[in-house]
Structure 1
Amino acid sequence: MRTLKLALLGFGNAGRTFAKILEDKKQEIRENMESDILVTGITTGSRGSLYNPEGIDLKKAWSDLEKQGSFDRNGNDYSQMTSMELVESGEYDVIVEMTPLNIFTGQPATDHLRKAMERGKHAVTANKGPIAWHYKELKNLAEKMNVQFYYETTVMDGTPIFNLKDETLKFCKVTEVSGILNTTTNYVLEELAKGKNYDDVIAEGKKIGFVEADPSMDIEGWDAAAKITALLNVLMEADITPKDVDRTGIEKITIEDIKEADQQGKIIKLLCKGTMKEGKVAASVKPTLVEQGDLMSVIEGTSSVVQITTDLMGKLTIIEHDPDLLQTGYGVFSDVLRIVRNLV
């Protein structure tokens, strides 16, 4: 029976959901993959850390965090270890990077992944920053160190986009990528179309959880820019950053704009797109008029869509319908299983 040890950087909602899936599927993994997966370290920004080379009690870890807001300071596994300290000196086989996103630098997540791989450790990231800002460097480092590096959760949660390209589109060249990748702007535009005031839409969105406390990264198109950058870096080897994206958010879209579009039989959506032009990949994020009844026009609420155009398989469309944390947790879980499968 093979044992694979994980170190988790970050233990927010997605991290806890991943841990619950891992615990729930433990026996099936043993039976079908002849492997045990242990978590030896967990770090958080303000709720303490845990470390035990023999394995952490995951049920206690997420229970303590959800009930009292922090890990048990009197527990045997409690630690003051920082994320970087765990990366550099902890005992693990796979680093799982789930720290908060810095959309303008991809740090410190990139350094966490780099240091882990330099130690010969496999790496999984749910943080899109490293893929948007430093993908080529990290990919090359993984190849040099002969370690596995996966990132399915960075765009559209656990939807198998990168896996699709890796596993089932062998020798296909991707020539274009487009889609609706930011659910906040999708929600805001839909609510504005109902005649609601912008400030009221934002306030209501925050209340029900669709909108972040600071929605500017979504509204101004930065989140969408990071996601399309990640897609293009992986699927088209673009080697770009979010600063290279021709970006326009929805902050200047008015109810009058939406009404005018409706009179034309159209709807406004924040579309992401990447195409090959003169040997280079050009990327954009822009409010775009879409014909009512077009596929893009019916992507609503928290749903997302990506279209991948290839030379051998034509255009493929993948829709993620109203995801929740389970899909995000599964994305991380699926990446870990890829590592297990490739090691067996």
Structure 2
Amino acid sequence: MSEDFNAIMYRQKAKAKEADETIYWDFNDIVEFANEHDALISIHAGRKVNGIDKELPNSKALPHQFAAKDEIGKKIHFFEVGQKRDIDDYKKYIWPSVGKKPIIICSDCHDPREYEQKNPLWIKSKFTFAGLKQCLYQPEERVFVGDIPPALDRICKNKQVNIDTIAVHRKTDCVHKDMNCFDFQIPLNAGLVSIIGNKGSGKSALSDIIGHLCKSKTMDHASFLNEERFRKRPKNFADDYKGIITWVDGHSEEDSLGNSEYESSIEDAQYLPQKYIEVACDAEQIIYCNMDKNSFSISYEAGAIEDSIIKNRVIDVLEGTMPAFDLRRKKYEN
């Protein structure tokens, strides 16, 4: 992109390029170049020196004098303010007009030795350009200005109950040396974590392992770590593996996946296996929703769980539902 910038923006589009002090570009040329090169545009705003609200006041400005021109505000990606109090003003007066956009606070200091931090800027993402772009879609969730984001503050104050990593490795004295089902370490986010994958890809295995390492009292309902599957004797593959859970405060606990007796009766976390919930099969009524992808029409179909058509709808939509139907049947037989 730097080569294109020199060839297009500097050599062709730049105005008064005889000196660095006078060079400038037409705003629309900047927008066009940025869009063609998947770039992001930020603009000084609020009370920031040479900001858009100070340099471009016009009839469209809102009474509080913090508004940017609509046509410019809609084309840029980030508003860069100089004071934290500008953020609330922009959310209140500018977002309704141009849409929600990330508002960041930065310094124009060109000498790091003279830099004085006013307010910390937090961006929740990977250290990549793609991570930064995610802020465009979630400006409120991804950007925070202040001492510490509330979610991170909650974790720091409760490190002993937040999981840092989950790991499973094969034991050195394993029996079935020709199999290596697990060998991983996964960091876990303190927010909502979603486990996805095709049927039989290990989703229930991972959630069961986490429940097991947290000494959950509902492990009798586990669909993977049970005596019919991974713990099935005489092979009992689970005995070949150990799981390690590490918490944010640094302490770790280790246990064999084949162990079903816990030293402590206190749960570290509650676990609700799919079989335990039985959501679909304990419902008094099922409403099936469907959208025709061609006509975009939405239809609804309601009925009792005993209805054969509704039952088939449930089986088609919810993976692993047949065992839940069996549990319901056995419950009523007893």
TM-score normalised by length of structure 2: 0.24
RCO comparison, higher one (Cα < 8 Å, 6+): 1
Report which of the two structures shows the higher radius of gyration computed on alpha carbons.
2
TM-score normalised by length of structure 1: 0.23
